[in-house]
Amino acid sequence: MRRFDYILIGSGIAGLYTALLAREQGSVLILTKGNIEDCNTRHAQGGIAAPIGANDSPELHFRDTIAAGDGLCNEEAVRILTTEAPDRIADLVNLGVPFDTLDGKIALTTEAAHSVPRILHAGGDATGEHIEVTLSKRVRATDIKVIEQCLASEILLEKGRARGVRAIDCRTGKSEDFAGKSIILATGGGGQLYKLNTNSEIATGDGIALAFKAGAEIADMEFFQFHPTCLFKPDVPPFLISEAVRGEGGILRNVNGRRFMYDYTPEGELAPRDVVARSIVYEMEKTKTDHVLIDVTHLSRSLTTSRFPHIYRFCLEHGMDITKVPVPVAPAAHYMMGGVKVNTWGETNVPGLFATGETACTGVHGANRLASNSMLEVLVFSKRILEKSRSNSTGTIVKKPAADEFHTLPRRKMPDNIPELTASNLQSLMWDKVGIIRNRQTLMEAVQTLAAWQRALPPTAERASQELSNMVITGRLISEAALIREESRGAHFRSDFPQKKPEWQHHVVFKLK
């Protein structure tokens, strides 16, 4: 068995950044089921939030994040996030990330629910790609061991402590075990659980399923963020139309050309994402259509093409000049606020097992992520994982605060008609039954079907079957949590419980036993 000080599972910004920090303290292995460049980070257009502007402060950023989280943020974690943000941005600058500048200073822009401009970007709307390319080049130039096309299938435990990883070679189907002193999950999110999503094909909830099966606690899974504006056009792959487009003055119109957001909220297009996504759904129902339009034709052509070059080029390649015509958009699954429960040092309740990035639940997002806080979260808490590791701690079990409500997955009644388990059927089930607007009936249908699929899961022998197994487990955790929370809060909306309730100001946490 090959042995390493650190094993990173995943090669997005979380995996790469953490690996670069870890190599200063020991030997490092990155396992990634695709290529090192395959990740959601590459698709991140908006940028990174950080309070570095003249009229900004960590306190102001803290207040905006708390407000967006709708009562469920971990205030200690948010304070750490906003206080340490400037230093982590400096780390990226030192690594060579080419942030856009204006008059010699890093340029800052506005996104929804931020009270001041604080979004850093690179290449206009190519922030994620620039960061990913910079970090992957750095990793390839080091002695970090990278094994591509290698899918982690199990966290290996010894006396309750994570001691290694079992992984499947996606090309041969053979398994190999790797030993590690610290196992760090950086597998990203689970957007592929939904029929319409903005995520890379690798986002199948792998880290959630791995951690859950190893005994880790999984929190806040009912809070799945749907991005309001994904390009919606037949035969064109889903493509994110960045939050920043509305931040720069983009207007949402219905298919009749009418501006509608002020019908639903006084904040208009700059309302939080969950409000905008639901408003679009209501407007589509009202107009009996499957999309709305985002309009930037009133903005200067030079602003649009320089600020959003990727969006402009992609749409132009598919027959739409966004400087001349509005673009059809619809909501799509985008970001998982919940995940593997960690403390402020990235530790799970399983000693030796850490999590960072979208697969982790640090508590900074609460019920609804503030735009562009996700990449910042990676930088801040990945750094803290390595600081904790440097202290030679044997691992601190996460304490269970009174605000957590713990559950195990219940046995469910077998439904009369069980659809065949395929990735496509699972995606349709999640979209139709556990989507933007939910209720008890649709959620019960989802949990019963997912429970039946889980009982009948075949042995996992290769990538496709392992991913499908992970999707079933992760999908069930989302659905069961959504069924338990009988209120509407943040990104979780129940039409049968449309109001927020103070008695639900706690976290729903699942554990295997």
Q: Which residue has the higher pLDDT, 459 or 395?
A: 459
For residue 34, report the phi and psi dihedrals to the nearest 5 degrees.
-115, -135
Whether 140 and 36 have beta carbons less than 8 Å apart is answered as: yes
pTM (two decimals): 0.93
Choosing from 118, 273, 307, 494, which is the catalytic residue?
273
Which residue's structure tokens are 């139309």?
241
- Token pair belonging to 136: 């992957």
- Write down the domain spans for the chain: 229-333, 402-510
Instruction: Give the rounded percent of residues in the chain with a pLDDT score beyond 90.
Output: 83
Residue 392: predicted pLDDT: 57
The C-alpha atoms of residue 207 and residue 32 are separated, in whole angstroms, by 12
Q: Is the pLDDT of residue 39 over 80?
A: no
Residue 398: predicted pLDDT: 53
Q: Distances from the Cα of 64 to the Cαs of 16, 241, 316, 402, in angstroms?
A: 28, 23, 35, 25
| Cross-strand partners of 182 | 6
Neighbours of 67 (CB within 10 A): 16
- Residues 6 or more apart in contact with residue 87 via CB below 8 angstroms: none
Q: What is the mean pLDDT of residues 114-125?
A: 89
Whether 242 and 311 have beta carbons less than 8 Å apart is answered as: yes
Q: Is the pLDDT of residue 14 over 50?
A: yes
The C-alpha atoms of residue 7 and residue 15 are separated, in whole angstroms, by 10
The DSSP string of 99-120 is --EETTEE-EE--TT-SS--EE
Which residue's structure tokens are 């493509």?
239
The reply to whether 259 belongs to the active site is no
Q: Is the pLDDT of residue 44 over 60?
A: no
Model pLDDT for residues 449-495, shown as the tens digit of each residue: 999 999 999 887 789 999 999 999 999 999 999 999 999 999 999 99
Residue 504 DSSP class = G
In which element (H, E) is residue 86 found?
helix 75-95
Q: Does domain 402-510 have CATH number 3.20.20.70?
A: no
Residue 336: predicted pLDDT: 96
Model pLDDT for residues 191-207, shown as the tens digit of each residue: 999 999 999 899 999 99
| Cross-strand partners of 165 | 155, 178
Q: Is the pLDDT of residue 293 over 90?
A: yes
Q: What is the mean pLDDT of residues 376-392?
A: 90
- Strand 105-106 and strand 161-169: the pairing is unpaired
Residue 395: predicted pLDDT: 47
Number of helices (H) and strands (E) in the chain: give both, helices first: 13, 22
Q: What is the mean pLDDT of residues 140-164?
A: 96
Per-residue confidence at 399, pLDDT binned at 50, 70, 90?
A: low
- Residues 6 or more apart in contact with residue 401 via CB below 8 angstroms: none
Q: Is the pLDDT of residue 499 over 70?
A: yes
Residue 347 DSSP class = B
Residue 66 DSSP class = H
State the burial class of residue 103 (Cβ atoms within 10 Å of its Cβ: 0-12, 13-18, 19+).
exposed
Q: Is the pLDDT of residue 328 over 70?
A: yes
Q: What is the mean pLDDT of residues 392-421?
A: 76
Neighbours of 393 (CB within 10 A): 11
Q: What is the mean pLDDT of residues 75-97?
A: 96
Q: Give, rounded to a whole angstrom, the gap between the first and last alpha carbons of the chain.
A: 29
Q: What angle do CA 467, 378, 388 make, to 5 degrees?
A: 105
- Token pair belonging to 207: 């880290």
- Residues 6 or more apart in contact with residue 170 via CB below 8 angstroms: 33, 149, 150, 151, 462, 463
SS3 per-residue string spanning 157-203 = EECCEEEEEEEEECCCCCEEEEEEEEEEECCCCCHHHCCCECCCCCC
Residue 46: predicted pLDDT: 60
Q: Which residue has the higher pLDDT, 141 or 113?
A: 141
Per-residue confidence at 441, pLDDT binned at 50, 70, 90?
A: very high
Per-residue confidence at 503, pLDDT binned at 50, 70, 90?
A: very high
The architecture in CATH of the region 229-333 reads Alpha-Beta Complex (3.90)
